Structures are given as C-alpha cells and as structure tokens.
Amino acid sequence: MTAIEYTQHPRQGRLARFGLWLRDHRRAVMAVQWGVVVVYAVLLIGPAVLPLPPAGAHVWDNLTLFAQFLFWGVWWPGVLISMLVFGRLWCGIFCPEGALSEFAARHGRGRATPRWMRWRGWPFTAFVLTTVYGQLISVYQYPLPVLAILGGSTVAAVAVGYMYGRNKRVWCRYLCPVNGVFGLLAKLAPVHYAVDPQRWNAPSHSPGAMTPFTCAPLVVVRKMKGASDCHMCGRCAGFRDAVELKPRRPDHEVVNVAGESASLWDSLLIITGLMGVAIGAFQWSASPWFVAAKQALATWLVRHGIVWPLEQSLPWFLLTNYPDRNDVLTLLDGVVLVGYIAAAAAAMTLAVGLPLALAVRITGRWDWRRFHHLGHGLIPLAATGVVLGLSSMTFTQLRADGFALDWVGPLRVWALGGAASASIWLMWRILGRYASALPRAAASVAASAALAAPIWSLWLLFWHW
C-alpha cells in the first residue's frame, strides 16, 4: 500500500485525510510557505523605504497604511483566532519565520541546542520585552519600528536556525516571542493530532505508515498528548498507523492534560503577560492616569530644577522620535510609559491571582500545580482581550477612512461575554478534578472574581476613556 493509497483508507475521516494530505504534499505546503514569505517581505520592507503617508492617504491607496492595517488589524488578530480554531496550523504551514528558520537549519551547522536557550522562561520574557519595546518605539504607527521588531525577529530566527538543529525549528520551539502565547491558545483548539500508544507499539503496521519523518518543532510525537507544541504540519500523520488528525472537545486539553505540565511560567504568561502587560500596552495612550502620573512627575522634576528628562529625546529605535509628525517621546514619557505598564501588570497579577489562590485553598490543601492549572481557565478571556486590543487598531484606521462601524461596540460586548462564560466554564471543569460538589461551587465563585479586573480594564479602554 502506498502513502497515497493510505490516505484514502475508508476508516479515515475527513480530518484524518486532510492531515495525510499535508504529509503527502510537502511541495505544495512549501510553495504556500514561500508565497507567504514573499508577501511578508514586501509588507515589511516596502513601507520602511517609502516616505511616511501624507495627509489624506487611505488604506487602499498607500502601501504603508495598508501594511499597518494588514499586520496589526488583520494578520495578528487572525493568527491568534486561528490558534483557537485550528491549533498551530499557522506555525506549521504559513509562518514565514518558521519556514526561513527551518530552511536555514537545513543548510546550517546543525549544532546542539545550548542549555541557556532551553530555559522555560523565554516565552514569557520575550513576550514582555517585545511588547514593551514595541510601545516605546510606536510599532503600531510607523514602519521602521515594524521592520526593527518583526524584521529583527526574522533575522534572529534565521541565525538561530543556521547555527542550531539540523532540519529543526529551534527558534520556534524556544525563543519565538509568541511561541508561549500560541501554545496556550492552541490548547483550546477543537482539532489535534491524536497519538494512539497501542497502535504505535503494535508489532506490525501498513507499509505506508513506516516512512520516517522529522518533527521540526522538536516534539516527542510518541508521547504527545495535546496541541500546545504541535505545529500541525502533518508530517507525522499516519506514522505507525498511530497518529491521526482528529476532532476533540475544545476544553479537553485544558481540563485533562494541562494540569500535568502547568507551571509558574504559564501563569505568568496568562495573568501577568496577556492580561497585565498587554492590556497596559493597549491602555496607556488613552489613559488619563498616564497623563496624571506624567504631569505629577514633571512638576516634581521642575520643582527640583531637573528639566533635562522633559526635553531629552532618543533615536527612533530607542524611543519614538518623529518631530515632523509632532510625535516625540521624551525620557520622561518613556519612564512613565514603562512604569504604567509595570504597574498595570502588577495590579492585574494581584487582582487575578488572589481570587484564584482563594479558589485553590477552598478545594483543600494548597498546591501550586492546582493554581497554575486553574489559571489555564482564563485563556479564553486573556486571548479575547489581546484580539480586541489589536483589532482596535483596525477600527481606528477604518473610522479615519470614513467607514461606519456602529456594530463594533455590540461585537465587543458579545466577545467579552462569550470569553468570560468560557473561562468560568473551564474553571468549573478544572475545579471538578480537585473538589467535591460543595467546595467546587464555592471555589468556582471565588475563581470567577478573577475575571472582574481584566473586564473592567477593557471596559475602561473601549467604553469609558
């Protein structure tokens, strides 16, 4: 039986056949990847070498505005949503950085991955540093910062691919700034590559199922239980008649699998990162608290004869500096900006973490693993907050071009309501693993209080300020 014949086995469902199609049509997949690389390069480099948009320019007649609209209003929100629906299919099929990093690894030195690169804190650290740096240089507004951040990330991905891991995606596995976020969101995907241990260990398999494969993101497929690390590329589909693309309950991995590996870094990324740092980054430019803090600090500095922080600017790649657009951040602005995001992150960590801790304590003895597992229940709300924050760039740009968007407000309400409901349901299901009926109900009420702070913060951003 050939590989193509195996894809048509009557036992296989449509999803399984699609997974096998991806395996059997690598050239088509690679053509798609390189097509995305070309589009990515044009949108990344083109605006950086062009003048800034003149007054009166629109999304449809200016490449820079079109690229901003596509990157921050369509591309990134769409990628995040795709993680919730298809798992990390973006990573395996479409991501330009992943394709370029793997290509470099195919022709590189193939060195062993160093220990420092495998540190589990990189996903959180890289996300926070990238988010804060992006705000300091106004990555959503100008093309050069986009080139610096996205282009710099791509160059680093190629360099890491060239140095480490033959035919592997070492960058994607350990250092990609959004790897941790993608992994969390993929846990809610209603599809995954399921591995059947009994078939894997069976003494005989169909001939088409024994073709060796390379797992680019370095997943131990034989032990794979979820979709968090899997890039959904299909290369392992059908191997040993044991790997199959299947549907599943969207809450399955978060409830039944995540507890085995939940860690402090997961909780930091969900609560401090996605709910604290990200919301603070979306908020600061509209926040009256930011203005009040800056004015208070400026008054204190002037009173003490220290005026240079109010006047000193830095190059655009360190701090926003576009005097011809009347858009310059001084050192004072930069310090207050970082302080605002840090304060937002700290406040959100406490406001969300304390109710979760109370819920865990209600279930019985204190257990950090339970706390980190329960934090996974907040993924729907955390993801929705980031998607809505990014999409606000889209709506702002469309409104500036004259589009009527009266439906945006109700859409946000429904999105937040649905996400909050999903988070409450997930936490209820998770707590069911640790407590009987009455403690479970009480713990669920306590855990639900963790949703108040992020929802209030998003209400301030979208409706109050």
pLDDT band at 72 (very low <50, low <70, confident <90, very high): confident
| Of the candidates 389, 404, 393, the residue with the CA atom closest to the CA atom of residue 458 | 389
- CA end-to-end span of the chain, whole Å? 64
pLDDT band at 209 (very low <50, low <70, confident <90, very high): confident
Task: Quick: pLDDT tens for 351-369.
Answer: 999 999 999 999 998 999 9
| Of the candidates 11, 28, 174, the residue with the CA atom closest to the CA atom of residue 101 | 174
pLDDT at residue number 323: 94
Average pLDDT over residues 384-401: 87
Please count the other Cβ atoms lying within 10 Å of the Cβ belonging to residue 347.
14
Secondary structure E strands in 233-318:
243-247
pLDDT at residue number 12: 62
Q: What DSSP state is assigned to residue 388?
A: H
Task: Quick: pLDDT tens for 409-433.
Answer: 999 999 999 999 999 999 999 999 9
Helical ranges in 324-407 per DSSP H: 331-362, 368-375, 379-400
| Of the candidates 183, 32, 21, 25, the residue with the CA atom closest to the CA atom of residue 94 | 32
Whether the per-residue pLDDT at 331 is higher than 90: the answer is: yes
pLDDT band at 1 (very low <50, low <70, confident <90, very high): very low
Q: Could you give the percent of the chain with pLDDT greater than 90?
A: 86
pLDDT band at 22 (very low <50, low <70, confident <90, very high): very high
pTM reported for the whole predicted model? 0.93
| Average predicted confidence (pLDDT) for the chain | 93
pLDDT at residue number 15: 93
Whether the per-residue pLDDT at 343 is higher than 50: the answer is: yes
| Of the candidates 232, 237, 229, 245, the residue with the CA atom closest to the CA atom of residue 193 | 245
Task: Quick: pLDDT tens for 124-161.
Answer: 999 999 999 999 999 999 999 999 999 999 999 999 99
pLDDT band at 393 (very low <50, low <70, confident <90, very high): confident
What are the CA-CA distances from residue 124 to residues 6, 151, 184, 410, 451 (Å)?
41, 20, 12, 32, 21
Hey, where are the domains in the chain? 3-186, 261-464
Average pLDDT over residues 33-62: 92
Please count the other Cβ atoms lying within 10 Å of the Cβ belonging to residue 65.
20
pLDDT band at 400 (very low <50, low <70, confident <90, very high): confident
pLDDT band at 251 (very low <50, low <70, confident <90, very high): very high
Of 10-14, 80-84, 244-248, the poorest mean pLDDT is in 10-14
| Interatomic CA distance for residues 168 and 175, integer angstroms | 13
pLDDT at residue number 301: 96
Whether the per-residue pLDDT at 57 is higher than 90: the answer is: no
Output b/e per residue, 7-40; b: 16+ Cβ within 10 A: beeeebeeebbbbbbbbbeeeebeeebeebbeeb
Q: What DSSP state is assigned to residue 193?
A: E
pLDDT band at 10 (very low <50, low <70, confident <90, very high): very low
Whether the per-residue pLDDT at 389 is higher than 60: the answer is: yes
Whether the per-residue pLDDT at 93 is higher than 90: the answer is: yes
| Interatomic CA distance for residues 347 and 342, integer angstroms | 9
Supply φ then ψ for residue 87, to 5 degrees: 70, -155
